[in-house]
Chains A and B, each alone.
Chain A
């Protein structure tokens, strides 16, 4: 062997009540390589990482770091051994400042006194390394999910690590930020660090990784050199079935015949969030909301759904002006909104998959018209099958599901309300390629059933594939619209970046 293995996991097994999350998994990372860890939702990627970092203890197997057997009992142990980790669910403290979050648990200081100046300097340096512009004194919770993600990465880079573990770090980043992160990863690789990288974006796998390991249902499928494996072959390994390129064709159909818009807004605005926006959704239409991070896409969705109070503007549903001052109003009018912040605004972590799934429907029906247990179970059975949600059973607390499967439950929650309009904010975030394809098919089906969909995604290709029309936002105002033949990734990118005039 030319390069010695930095990390060697042998025969790792891990069981949870009702689920075998890992069985006999081998995993090897060499110094100076970027190693992608791939697999479907619930394949066991995050569990493997948590075993490695001491969050869980393995039921079977052995861990070696640079040849020495290690048994991390807590994340702190792993950190001391030089394993630095960014977990899938950002687990920082929202009420503390950026600087505090970055240095938490490893505060510089002497004799028990904290040196705040050193704190802030270190945090600023860590962020500068990522070329992130961010106030180190800002409260973390006030930042966007993407920014929080960058802070988590900065924190991981702040230690002198030998192994860096990144569990879906790019799920909420845009292309520019991803490019910056990749630059850093390449630099660290050149310095001899080993990097484990989990993602569902195949482009990114091919862009940075040297080798890759595929898991399926908690089992090892194999380890490959990235360059030796074609895309289709890789997808085949992940899903365990043959796939053809035809599965990823455009779903966007011609816009429906213009009838009365099912949802329309005029002059919708809120100071500091979004300048007046007009939009109208026809039944059976998938409209994209394009733009870079912070362009005001989520803000627009929140105004439509009554989460934030609008300063001005009117909303009408099926032609009739309506009053929407809370999500409750919106839900009763047949709107649905799947938030981008799964952990903070989506799941009820300690409640079961069943309770999470029926929750919005029950809320719509009110307190008294309770769904019977039988009805609830029927709904669960239907959606667990239809969306291929991987869970031990419907009574499992949702927090025990893998990230992608939680996302599917939230989608099911809204579909169960049989909405007329559904707003999807980054619905495919953290979802594996098979499920992504299923969700795209689902959107196509919803559209043909006459639903209107407002689709927000940072993946330009995804927007182009699914939407018949895209409204583009830039710097918190509506700057243009693309539809029909003009709708391709290049035009959209230009319009988003502002290097090209609108053609609406």
Chain B
């Protein structure tokens, strides 16, 4: 008998389904999706739209964590990119220029992180902490301490618009997930990232440019954060250097870990990350709907994360397996 290996997305998916069911039992309206003016509305649609930014940041974070690192600066990069958008749009620049500049900002930030970690060998937490702290200040400088209101319908469309009745932002993010998946799995890049995370020395000795692969992960992560900054600014039609992207690095790390990618690096699960991000957004929305005060909102979040992580752990699995012994096929 050969026991089937449990898919790494089993527990996060189970958590998501359980949470949705819980909501549905509490309030049947939760699952209701209506068509209004040819647009889809409803709580599930909301969750997808609001969760799209975390999903995006978590996508980049997945690759960084797979290489055995972590990027704490993503929240600040979101703020900087938002600030860049606001200033450029205010100055009358076109949408294309604005987008390119925002994503370029992310690429630049990622390159700085990549340089520190991969080339200079600074510990990832320390290296990205620098930008996490300094980045907010940079964002403040760009907007000169103001909250800049953005008045550009085409820019706002990115976060709040609908394409054929479906919200645009989640569509965009899902397309990016698919593209990333293919780029990683149809080429050898995915294998190389996992190898570097699993044993960097061995990867290098086998002829891999390990530093380059690592730097690439940070650069990609920066670009994702840059684009998420665009979506965040478009969503509230303003650049808020203080609050934009606040705690986003934590949500992204949670999404990645809950999704089945180990913090120690190695194997990554992109689909798991998407589910993890949705799980966190669903929980946030649930608490909002239940009127849980924001001050204690982190507690259920923490409980959920501990729960899913425990269920994924081999040790706990063995322990649970001991409680309910499997029938041995002779």
Contacts and interface: CB of A to CB of B under 8 A. Distances in A.
B195 A367 contact: no
A351 B194 contact: yes
Interface string B185-209: 0111101101100110111111111
A359 B206 contact: yes
Contacts of B188: 362-363, 365-371
A327 interface: yes
B328 to A, nearest CB: 8
Contacts of B192: 362-363, 367
Nearest to B195: A348
B205 A337 contact: yes
Contacts of B203: 348, 359
B267 interface: yes
B2 interface: yes
B202 A345 contact: yes
A346 interface: yes
Interface stretch (A125-133, A143-151, A328-336): A328-336
Interface in A363-405: 363-371
Given A344-B201, A345-B201, A351 B209 contact: no
A207 B209 CA distance: 46
Contacts of B2: 17-18
Most buried by B among A18, A327, A347: A327
Given A345-B201, A350-B198, A370-B187, A364 B3 contact: no
Contacts of B3: 17
Contact of A360 (B194, B198, B207): B207
A350 B198 CA distance: 7
A413 B205 CA distance: 12
Contacts of B209: 326, 328
Nearest to B185: A370
A331 B186 contact: no
Given A17-B2, A359-B191, A347 B206 contact: no
Contacts of A269: none
A407 to B, nearest CB: 13
A363 B186 contact: no
A172 interface: no
A351 B207 contact: no
Contacts of A362: 188, 191-192
Nearest to A351: B198
B276 interface: no
Nearest to A393: B2
Contacts of A355: 191, 194-195
Contacts, number: 83
B266 interface: yes
B205 A350 contact: no
Q: Which of A344, A345, A347 has the most CB of B within 10 A?
A: A345
B132 to A, nearest CB: 26
Interface string A13-43: 0000110000000000000000000000000
Interface in B177-228: 186-189, 191-192, 194-195, 198-199, 201-209
Nearest to A339: B205
B208 A363 contact: yes
Nearest to A355: B191
A349 interface: yes
B212 to A, nearest CB: 9
Among B2, B202, B205, B206, find the residue whose CB has the most chain A CB atoms closer than 10 A.
B206
Contact of A344 (B186, B202, B208): B202
A441 B198 CA distance: 33
B199 A349 contact: yes
Nearest to B266: A350
A330 B207 contact: yes
A307 interface: yes
B4 to A, nearest CB: 9
A350 B206 CA distance: 16
B202 A350 contact: no
A77 to B, nearest CB: 17
Given A331-B206, A339-B205, A364-B207, A349 B198 contact: yes
Contact of A347 (B5, B189, B199, B267): B199
Nearest to A359: B206
A366 B203 CA distance: 13
Interface string B84-117: 0000000000000000000000000000000000
Contacts of A307: 204-205
B207 A346 contact: no
Contact of A367 (B5, B189, B207): B189
Interface string A174-206: 000000000000000000000000000000000
Contacts of A360: 206-207
A307 B206 CA distance: 10
Contacts of A350: 198, 266-267
Contacts of A413: 206
Given A17-B5, A363-B192, A413-B206, 10 more contacts: A307-B204, A307-B205, A348-B198, A348-B202, A359-B191, A359-B206, A359-B208, A363-B206, A365-B188, A367-B189
14 contacts: A18-B2, A327-B207, A337-B205, A346-B202, A347-B199, A347-B202, A348-B198, A350-B267, A351-B194, A355-B194, A359-B191, A359-B195, A362-B192, A367-B189
Q: Which 6 A-B pairs have the closest CB atoms?
A: A331-B207, A363-B207, A348-B198, A360-B206, A370-B188, A363-B208
